[in-house]
Amino acid sequence: MVSASGTLRSRASGTPETSDPVGAVAGLIASPSLRWTACPLGTRPGIVRARGHVLGLEHQGHPERHLRLERSTRREVCRAQRRIAIRRCGLGVDGARECREGRIARGRGARDGRRRRRVRSPECPLQGHLRTPDPQHEQGQRDDGVGPCAIPFHHPASQCNFFGMHSPLSSASDARPTLLVTGGAGFIGSALVRQLIAETDVNVLNVDVLTYAGNLESLGAARHDPRHVHVRQDIADAAAMRALFAAHRPSAVLHLAAESHVDRSIDGPAGFVQTNVVGTFTLLQTALEYWSQLDAAAAARFRFVQVSTDEVYGSLGPEGAFSEDTRYDPSSPYSATKAAADHLARAWHRTYGLPVLVTNCSNNFGPYQFPEKLIPTVITRALAAAPIPVYGDGANVRDWLYVDDHARALRLVLARGEPGRTYNIGGGCEQQNIAVVRRICALLDARRPDPAGSHERLITFVRDRPGHDRRYAIDDRRIRNELGWDGETDFDTALAATVDWYLANEAWVQRVVSGEYQREALWLEAARPAL
């Protein structure tokens, strides 16, 4: 059961099991990870209720810290807190019964018998709230006696305090900015997150709904870093996005979440419209509302980076390259929805002043790419001695960009880019598809010889894809000249490193191909409350 001070106790013995059940609940909202079912000792938050509604969560000893929540968001928080407490924080059968009966941390009927009193805080937007006084914590002491009742930054449950009064990824003494990265469990997004965690000191809020292409394993060591928090949520859910912005207070948004496979967009375009268009609109509108309430200095620093593709420009002839001024001419449902998203982003800048930057990149490749894309498809099918499909005559030309170089370019645009500007990001390496396929086969022949002969024997030309663009090429002089970007990895070196990675990580490939990696995601989806 839960006392009015927020301590979870065993019904049989009355001994404390954990002193932060709601903090753990909040952490689980921010990052639905199975490993966070334990609750930390040392902090004792209390649920603040009035007339049966959650008004906020207060760290006792710090009554001035409160999260400003709109009324609708408070109701969502209340529902989410109760559902997650039952499912994920070890309340058990008795705790679930008490929660259903409305006896957990009620404003009345506190089991310790102490009187509840009204406390007014000059900085609290929810004046006249109720809480249970705790003498120890009002003096600013933690249960372990090691110092002030400040939330330790390094603990996952404390850094993810969804209901908390300050940024869940920072504490009063932590000046690190928080970057909101959407699609951070995807191919490009995970590369960006890994790089941000490894090479900077920023906090990363990773919002990814974990569709078929989203895989938390792609985050590597960054997945469990205390500066990284994953939230499984749909960017098209406006209420959830508002709550996340309010709780985490991001300094910038890097929007990479998108449905991105052309073949899938041809078979089922509705999902692409929902994610790429509606999702981007929702995120832009939420960011605008959040940005408009920032103080002048924070508003001047805020950025929204819309990450897009060169496919919005359509198809090129044998000469020329796409510049930032090239007219949009998308050919597939995928590229059309990305074009729509880019137009929305620019409109929100021109109409409302939101500091938006747009990037358009060429074809990415590298480790952790989902096997439906060209390069991992060739590698995996060649290793399985299966036919390697090549569309049409294989002469379609793409400009290839190593994913780590792309991530560095995005960081550069965020740091130095001018709001309202568009930046093309290319690899400077045009290759016909058939040439790339043959180069991969040669690398595999050297590294994993097949007794039956060269892997090139598996190449099979198939009917061309509808609306298949013939050639892409990127003119990236703007980002090079204005921001000083330069791709660090040449194509041959990066391709060899990519092949080596797939050979060394066949277990990861098998988990993705079999769908095993999604089992945890499906379980989490079943357990996740609707916000």
∠ Cα 519 520 522 (to 5°): 65
Rounded to whole angstroms, how far apart are CA atoms 16 and 1? Answer: 10
CA 12/CA 89 separation, integer angstroms: 18
Q: Are residues 161 and 23 in contact, defined by beta-carbon separation less than 8 angstroms?
A: yes
Q: Is 128 left (phi over 0), alpha (psi -120 to 50) or beta?
A: left
The answer to whether the beta carbons of residues 398 and 452 sit under 8 Å apart is no
Residues in contact with 451: Cβ distance below 8 Å, sequence separation at least 6, in sequence order:
none
Cβ atoms 312, 333 nearer than 8 A: no
* Residue tagged active-site, from 76, 311, 399, 469: 311
- Collapse the DSSP code of 303 into the 3-class scheme (helix H, G, I; strand E, B; otherwise coil) and give the result: strand
Tell me whether residue 423 is one of the annotated catalytic residues. no
Q: Which two tokens stand for residue 114?
A: 């102490």
Which residues, including other chains, have CB under 8 Å from residue 115's CB and lie 6 or more apart? none
- 311 catalytically annotated: yes
| Both structure tokens of 14 | 């009355």
Please tell me which residue in 290, 313, 334, 368 is annotated as part of the active site: 334
Rg over CA atoms, the chain: 26
Residue from 98, 208, 259, 310 carrying the catalytic annotation = 310
DSSP, res 175: -
Could you confirm whether 325 is annotated as catalytic?
Answer: no
Active site residues: 310-311, 334
